[in-house]
Amino acid sequence: MSGRTFALGDSYSICDPYLMIFYLWGRFVGMPMSDLAAYSRLIARVVERPAVAKAIAEEQLPMGQAA
């Protein structure tokens, strides 16, 4: 993911919110997500999107610090 804006390049795709969920699962099971800098930056960009932020709020997802 290094050097990309989103998972598949410069455009947001369905892959990005799926990767956000895997990121949350990783944090939930105790994976050191801070070791995955490019992944963390991707998730920070994803959660900035208005529709994603709305879904996070509605679903009450435990985002905490994304990056």
How much is the pLDDT for 67? 45
- Alpha-helix residue ranges (DSSP H) falling in the chain: 15-28, 37-48, 50-59
| Short-list 39, 3, 2, CA closest to 20 | 39
Domain limits of the chain?
A: 1-67
Decide: helix, strand or coil at residue 2.
Answer: coil
Q: How many residues does the chain have?
A: 67
16's enclosing H/E stretch is helix 15-28
Mean pLDDT by 10 residues, the chain (67 residues): 90 95 92 90 94 91 65
How much is the pLDDT for 7? 95
How much is the pLDDT for 65? 56
